[in-house]
Every structure is written in structure tokens, then in C-alpha cells.
């Protein structure tokens, strides 16, 4: 006969083991990717590799490209995203708001290759020539289509957490609604906003598909908003398709750098939200 206490202890054990196994299954691929990338990428790292362009065997142009394109995307995406979130949370008290919110949530999950094609078609039709269609600008527009819905949503969600009593306190002092939003509501949720922005930046920094359709990659440093430009994800992609071992090795190096950038952003998110 089974001792019931012993049996329950056994069940407890079993459950614990099962959970542990699942954790291992989830973590092993992730850890092995990190490990593999670090092992293969690290030997590539050198000053030249980080600063020179493709013709000298470096990925400096891709790092620069990623910084420029993510910066441009942020310039377009952050203000629009935050203002849209503010609108939905503070001013969107009408019957259109719910559908706007649904569409926005849908856009956060939108297939990014389609976003790329859309940006291409948009710029092509607005500027009326294919000269601008494959360009830095088009890439930034595409990435901001990805960034805006994310920031809109995180902004709205963090504004919703601000207690209404604070809005009322400000309005009761005779402050206008816009002033209340700007000086009372937004500062109260500053860390929420920063977290949303950093997450969105990390997300677009790693996007590849929309860039294939827009900036197309380049072997050189930045050549103007209407020119093609390199970016780390594209650099990894093109290098990995090459038959040459040196090119593949460069791809590993670029992958390591991209992972470091995205990880750093995520750690920054953790630090920012911990302060709250």
C-alpha cells in the first residue's frame, strides 16, 4: 500500500522535475544560440571590423546604418506614437476610439514584410519615381510603421494606470486639459513611456524583412537620405548567403554586435522599470 504522504511528496517532486525539464527545453536553444554567436563572432571583433566598410572587411557601415535608420525611425515614430497613445487614453472618448484601438493592436502584430512593401509603394507613389523608393528614408518610414503601434499601445496602457484623482486635482485648479496631460499625467508615467520606447527601438533594430524591401543594403557608409544604406540585420542576411567563409565569419561578427545592441536595450528597459 502506498503511504499517502509519501505519494503526495512524490507527486510534488514529479511536478517540480517536469517544470525544470520544460525550463531547460526553453532555455537550451536560446543559450546555445548566444553561445554559438559569441564563439563564432568574437574572433571577428577588431577596430577595423567595427569601423571599416565592406570593401575593407568591416561592418562599420552596417553599424552606422543601423544607428541612422533607428534614429530616423525614432524621430518619426516616437512623437507620433506618444501623441496617438495620449489621444486614445486622454481625449479619445468617442465611438471611433474602440475601432482605432483594435486596428492599432492589429498593426502591432502585422507581418513586417508587408509593412516593407507598403512603405515602398507609398514613397514610390508620393515621390513619383523609383529613385527614392529604395532609400534610407523609405526604410525609416517602414520601421516607423512598426514602431508607432507599439509605442501607441504602451503609452495608452501606461497612461491608463495614472489615477484619475490626479487629473481631477489638476483640472480643479483650473488647468486646461492639455496642460494637465502635459504637466501632470505624462510626468507621472515617465518610466512607463521610456520602457515602451526602448522596447520599440529594440524591436525595430532587429527587423530584417522590411529593410529588404526598402533600403536594400549597401557596401558603403551613409550616402544621403535618398541613397541605399546598410544595416546590421541585412548585413547578416546577405553575408550568410555568401559561399565564402570570410563573408560568413563577418556575418557572425555582425550577429554578435546586433545581439549586444538589442540585449543592452532590454537591460535598459529592466533598469528603467525597476526604478518605478
Residues 215 and 213: their CA atoms lie apart, in Å, by: 7
Phi, psi of 59 (to 5 degrees): -120, 20
Indicate the SS3 state at residue 229.
strand
Residue reference for cell 475601432 = 99
- For other proteins, give the closer residue by CB, 113 or 184: 184
C-alpha cell at 156: 495608452
Tell me the residue ranges of DSSP E strands in the chain.
none
User: With binding defined as CB under 8 A, does residue 172 bind other proteins?
Assistant: yes
Q: Is 95 in the site for other proteins (CB under 8 A)?
A: no
Q: Which of residues 14, 28, 42, 169 is near other proteins by CB under 8 A?
A: 169
Q: How far is the CB of 100 from other proteins (least distance, A)?
A: 17
Cβ proximity to other proteins: between 167 and 228 the closer is 167
Query: Does 180 contact other proteins by CB under 8 A?
Result: yes
* Residue from 170, 181, 195, 214 binding other proteins (CB under 8 A): 170
Q: Using CB under 8 A, which of 9, 13, 190, 270 touches other proteins?
A: 190
- Tell me if 276 contacts other proteins by CB under 8 A: no
Least separation in angstroms between CB 89 and other proteins? 14
Q: Does 195 bind other proteins (CB under 8 A)?
A: no
Contact between 183 and 170 under an 8 Å Cβ cutoff? The reply is yes
Select the residue interacting with other proteins from 36, 168, 246, 276 (CB under 8 A).
168
Q: Binding to other proteins by residue 247, rule CB under 8 A?
A: no
Q: With binding defined as CB under 8 A, does residue 97 bind other proteins?
A: no
Q: Tell me: does residue 108 bind other proteins (CB under 8 A).
A: no
The reply on whether position 273 binds other proteins by CB under 8 A is no
The footprint of other proteins (CB under 8 A) covers: 93, 163, 165-166, 168-176, 179-180, 183-184, 187-188, 190
Amino acid at each position: 500500500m502506498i503511504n499517502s504522504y509519501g505519494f503526495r511528496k512524490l507527486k510534488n517532486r514529479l511536478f517540480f522535475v517536469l517544470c525544470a525539464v520544460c525550463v531547460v527545453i526553453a532555455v537550451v536553444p536560446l543559450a546555445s544560440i548566444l553561445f554559438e554567436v559569441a564563439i563564432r563572432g568574437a574572433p571577428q571583433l577588431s577596430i577595423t571590423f567595427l569601423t571599416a566598410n565592406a570593401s575593407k572587411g568591416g561592418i562599420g557601415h552596417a553599424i552606422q546604418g543601423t544607428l541612422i535608420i533607428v534614429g530616423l525611425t525614432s524621430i518619426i515614430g516616437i512623437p507620433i506614437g506618444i501623441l496617438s497613445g495620449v489621444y486614445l487614453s486622454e481625449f479619445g472618448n468617442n465611438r471611433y476610439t474602440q475601432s482605432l484601438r483594435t486596428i492599432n493592436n492589429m498593426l502591432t502584430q502585422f507581418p513586417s514584410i508587408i509593412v516593407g512593401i507598403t512603405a515602398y509603394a507609398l514613397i514610390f507613389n508620393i515621390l513619383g519615381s523609383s529613385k527614392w523608393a529604395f532609400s534610407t528614408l523609405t526604410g525609416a518610414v517602414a520601421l516607423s510603421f512598426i514602431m508607432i503601434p507599439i509605442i501607441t499601445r504602451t503609452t495608452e496602457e501606461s497612461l491608463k494606470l495614472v489615477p484619475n484623482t490626479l487629473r481631477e486635482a489638476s483640472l480643479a485648479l483650473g488647468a486646461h486639459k492639455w496642460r494637465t496631460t502635459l504637466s501632470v499625467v505624462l510626468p507621472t508615467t515617465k518610466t512607463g513611456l521610456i520602457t515602451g520606447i526602448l522596447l520599440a527601438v529594440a524591436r525595430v533594430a532587429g527587423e530584417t524583412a522590411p529593410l529588404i524591401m526598402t533600403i536594400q543594403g549597401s557596401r558603403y557608409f551613409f550616402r544621403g537620405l535618398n541613397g541605399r544604406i546598410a544595416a546590421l540585420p541585412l548585413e547578416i542576411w546577405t553575408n550568410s548567403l555568401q559561399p565564402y567563409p570570410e563573408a560568413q565569419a563577418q556575418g557572425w561578427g555582425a550577429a554578435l554586435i546586433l545581439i549586444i545592441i538589442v540585449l543592452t536595450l532590454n537591460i535598459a528597459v529592466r533598469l528603467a522599470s525597476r526604478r518605478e
